[in-house]
Amino acid sequence: MNVPNRHLPSATLVFISALLLAACSGPGPHRAPPDREAQARVAQLTASGYRAPEQALTVTMQRWIIAGEALPVDLALPAGSAGRLPLIVYLPGMGESARAGVRWRQLWAHAGYAVLSVQPLPDDELAWSSELARAADFKGLARERRQPAQTEARLRIILAVLEQARARAAAGDALMRRVDFGNVGIAAYELGAQAALAAPLQAQAKALLLLGPVLPERTESIATPLLLVSSRRDQDPTGLDPDPPKRSRAAFEAQDSATLLMLGRASHTALAGAPELGPDELDEPSSGRGRRGGGRREPTFSDAAPVRANEDDSAVVIEAASLAFWDANLRGSSEARGWLRERAPAWSQGLAEWSSHQR
């Protein structure tokens, strides 16, 4: 609500301001009261899932010079851990910055991992404000950003970031020298999956986690342990891929060793790990503005049922699954491996389906 104020006396402005503050703070039509039953379910789900002791964090945003350009790199590490830390490299989706995926990244860092996030191409971060997006040519935008040349450019930058991280560690950098570069996992959301699937990056990884990924029509077999996270409600925000869950399932079937976590009701944005949003911050009408969170601006779908943007139960499933996956593959935890194999399907029953195969 915009109130022109050039011709209003100050007392009137104070009165209007008070009314606006009261409207924003009360339950009102845009802010429903908290659902205590839902909160209790989420708390119980969290307490009974796979967990790890939480550690205090060191979080820093730096700018590294990569290929002659200043590139934002977001780092999160446990503050007081002894010993060298497994590294998780996080690759955001289209329209996201290096600060995206904060819910997942901070969870992993709290659990004892060094987490490095980088958006390799500025044009990926600014995609939703591009000329194609302003013209509402979202499919054209997707085709442009998914070109092989763009994937190769992302890969070059990511490999250069890893090379610089190792060089910083060798030079005595206080954060990078704590990292175990022989124990690396790659996590990617949406468009970030294209670079994550490239063989040169897989060759440096011991585990690969893909969230709501943009996938090729045919996914080659991957030797690296793979966890695919999708949802029956997942939609391609550009409309180019008519059935992302089907493509994720096909990619899973092409693997010799992989796990597919198919959530029942998580939206595409929920898979992004954006900061928690309130119940008034739902999908807006399909105007190209999209949800608010993680710096994203994406088109929405008017035929989608309204949902809470934070979708906490699905997020808790992703948190437990991803943490157990990292512990199993980067720390060699038999407890985590057993939880994934024996307990996870029953624990998440009604919220997700698990598929796993070892050939």
pLDDT interval class at 34 (50, 70, 90): low
pLDDT interval class at 44 (50, 70, 90): confident
What pLDDT, on a 0 to 100 scale, did the predictor assign at position 277? Answer: 40
Euclidean distance between CA atoms 305 and 109, whole angstroms: 34
Q: What percent of the chain has pLDDT over 70?
A: 79
What pLDDT, on a 0 to 100 scale, did the predictor assign at position 256? Answer: 84
- pTM, to two decimals: 0.81
What pLDDT, on a 0 to 100 scale, did the predictor assign at position 172? Answer: 95
Euclidean distance between CA atoms 271 and 327, whole angstroms: 20
Pairing status of strand 257-263 against strand 352-358: antiparallel
CB atoms within 10 A of CB 289: 14
Pairing status of strand 85-91 against strand 114-118: parallel
Euclidean distance between CA atoms 82 and 79, whole angstroms: 9
pLDDT interval class at 52 (50, 70, 90): confident
CB 313 within 8 A of CB 41: yes
What pLDDT, on a 0 to 100 scale, did the predictor assign at position 359? Answer: 55
163, exposed or middle or buried, with CB in 10 Å at 0-12, 13-18, 19+?
exposed
What pLDDT, on a 0 to 100 scale, did the predictor assign at position 186? Answer: 98
What pLDDT, on a 0 to 100 scale, did the predictor assign at position 275? Answer: 66
What pLDDT, on a 0 to 100 scale, did the predictor assign at position 104? Answer: 96
pLDDT interval class at 21 (50, 70, 90): very low
- Give CB contacts under 8 A, 24+ apart, made by 303-309: 304/233, 304/235, 304/267, 306/282, 307/265, 307/267, 307/282, 307/283, 308/277, 308/279, 308/282, 309/267, 309/269, 309/270, 309/277, 309/278, 309/279, 309/281, 309/282, 309/283
Tokens of 144: 């442009």
pLDDT, mean over the chain: 82
CB 187 within 8 A of CB 322: yes
Euclidean distance between CA atoms 150 and 158, whole angstroms: 12
Tokens of 3: 């109130």
Domain ranges of the chain: 54-358
CB atoms within 10 A of CB 343: 15
Architecture of domain 54-358: 3-Layer(aba) Sandwich (3.40)
Euclidean distance between CA atoms 217 and 33, whole angstroms: 44
Residues 76-114: tens digit of each pLDDT: 999 977 789 999 999 999 999 999 999 999 999 999 999
Residues 276-300: tens digit of each pLDDT: 543 333 233 233 333 333 333 333 3
